[in-house]
Amino acid sequence: MKQYDVIIIGSGIAGMNAALRFAEQNKKVLLITKRTLQQSNTRKAQGGIAGVIAEEDSVEQHVRDTLVAGCNHNKKSAVQFMVQHSTAAIQRLIDLGVPFTKEHNTIALTQEAAHSVRRIAFVDDYTGAAISQTLTRHVRQQKNITILEHAFAADLLVEKGHCFGVQIIHKNKYKNIMSGLVVLAAGGPGQLYLHTTNPPIATSDGLAMAIRAGATCKDLEFIQFHPTALHLPGKPCFLISESVRGEGGYLVHASGKRFMKNYHTDGELAPRDIVTRAIFEEQKKGPVFIDIRHKKRTYLQKRFPTIYTKLKSYGIDMASNLIPVSPAAHYSCGGVVADLQGRTNITNLLAIGEVAYTGVHGANRLASNSLLEALVFSETVTKNSCKPTKKSEQFSIEKTEKIPPEQRKKLLQIRRELRTTMWHDVGIVRTAMTLKHAQQSIKTLEQKITPLPTNNILGSEIKNMLIAAHTILTAAQKRKNSLGCHYVE
Ligand code: SIN
């Protein structure tokens, strides 16, 4: 069994780009991913990637918008660093071959909430999928990268504050793999919530692993809810990109009456936390919709092909029907504390992407800054030097155990109840009482099966979800006043 210079956990934009950059330095990289390379949150990103490209834009303006959206809770130096590197980051994607949508031969830019200018580069409404496909192509060609798909990262191997590898579950066996550096790029905790735009893999494994290893975390109470996910009973949650509002979509009641101006002068393009709470409030009066019927069908088909087709498959014609929407958990603004080079408080453990807290998002992330953050810090993380670990190779082949059907049923029920609790009690609007209620419920769930069977992937995921939920809840209880995504009534 080989030793690696670097193990990267996660195959979103952060993980794949870091793998490519380390490989270019001739490092031996192991890229592990829970399912296939392209199953990630990145793949689901529709809107785009923000950056200073337009002539009328500037670093100062992008920084200012990020700080305003983040309620000035951001780490300003990190925001400046990210935005200063935004143009180069987008150029990196162009160089790799991401087919950004163009207008008059230059990169077209779209508008999203709380941006004072058009500054979001996009590939129609499937930007993340296009990025993911492009990176996958490069990663598969790079000889210095070993790809391990369907490999579940079970734990970080840490001793006396030093990380020296990862324990994985692969083909029903546990294996310990050693490396000089471990990069955590494992995404977010979206699946902790009953309604989420995130894929099923987003079960907060990276966050929980880091917490178990003693990593410092910050700002976990700031869970961002996307205002507009498709809301059709019985149908899976599906993102209706903010760029639909950016390109002129209104939020309305069934009667066609708009309401956003009652909440913010920027109306539909107010910061995301404000739009989310406005919809949450207005839903008490009746269902809420996006109305973009005033745009031509040919335009909608061309600009939003994914959304148009998906809605059509559900019998909704966005050129002539209202689109029913509701908020859904979308992104974690906090995470494992990491500096500008991804370094955490654990030696040789680096964190990038959604799992990391760099301080750029503050209390509420500015739209399309997430792909940017992930990309910028996946470049700087490769500045870390890696010495081979002194740990001798250990290779355990302990087998995982099959879950008996009764136990499986129980585990799935715990997961369902946890997601329901988080949605209702640690959701868009929180009160001291709902948080207390969540505390009780999580405790009860933790005691439903003791000990939790973690010698299989489902059990491990649920353990991770319980750890992450507990930590998010504790953070929410500590912050008594409302700020950004953390709203306490
Ligand atoms: C969207 O397309 O609305 C998502 C953009 C983002 O979350 O940054």
**Taking residues 399-417, what's their average pLDDT?**
92
CA 127 to ligand 1 center in whole angstroms: 10
Per CATH, which fold does 226-330 belong to?
A: Flavocytochrome C3; Chain A, domain 1 (3.90.700)
Determine if ligand 1 sits within 6 Å of the CB of residue 367: yes
Let me know: does 198 contact 21? Beta carbons within 8 Å: no
Q: Which residues contact 81 (CB under 8 A, 6 or more apart)?
A: 340, 376
Q: How many whole angstroms separate alpha carbon 211 and alpha carbon 190?
A: 17
Ligand 1 pocket check for 98: Cβ under 6 Å: no
Which residues have a Cβ under 8 Å from the Cβ of 406 and sit 6 or more positions away? none
Query: For all residues of the chain together, what is the average pLDDT?
Result: 96
Inter-residue contact 202 to 189 (CB < 8 Å): yes
Q: Which residues are catalytic?
A: 272
**Alpha carbon 266 to its chain's center:** 25
What number is the average pLDDT over the span 162-182?
95
CA distance 358 to 294: 40
Domain ranges of the chain: 1-222+333-400, 226-330, 405-478
Cβ 39 under 6 angstroms from ligand 1: no
Report whether CATH 1.20.58.100 matches the domain 405-478: yes
CA dist 423 and 443 (Å) reads 16
Three-state secondary structure readout of 419-468 = HHHHHHHCCCCECHHHHHHHHHHHHHHHHHCCCCCCCCHHHHHHHHHHHH
Q: Is any ligand 1 atom within 6 A of the Cβ of residue 241?
A: yes
Domain 1-222+333-400 fold: FAD/NAD(P)-binding domain (3.50.50)
Q: What is the dihedral of CA 361, 341, 169, 139, to 10 degrees?
A: 100
Q: Which atom of ligand 1 is nearest to the CA of 331?
A: 7
For residue 179, the cross-strand partners are 4
Predicted structure pTM score: 0.96
- Predicted confidence band at 449 (pLDDT cuts at 50, 70, 90)? confident
What is the structure's pLDDT at 393? 60
Residue 3 has pLDDT above 80, yes or no: no
With a 6 A CB cut-off, is 370 part of the ligand 1 pocket?
yes
Mean pLDDT of 148-155: 97
What pLDDT does residue 394 have? 61
Tell me which of 122, 330, 368, 485 to substitute to probe ligand 1's pocket, judged by most ligand atoms within 8 Å of the beta carbon: 368
Mean pLDDT of 174-189: 96
Average pLDDT estimate for 291-297: 98
pLDDT over 90, % of the chain: 94
pLDDT band at 1 (very low <50, low <70, confident <90, very high): low
pLDDT exceeds cutoff 90 at 386: no
Task: Average the pLDDT over 178-199 and give the result.
Answer: 97
> Are the CB atoms for 206 and 184 separated by under 8 Å?
yes
Distance 365 CA to ligand 1 centre (A): 10
Q: How far is CA 131 from the centre of its chain?
A: 15
* Top mutation candidate among 119, 123, 241 for ligand 1, by most atoms within 8 Å of CB: 241
Q: Where do the DSSP E strands lie in 276-430?
A: 288-291, 323-332, 335-337, 349-351, 356-357
Nearest-atom number in ligand 1 for the CA of 366 is 8
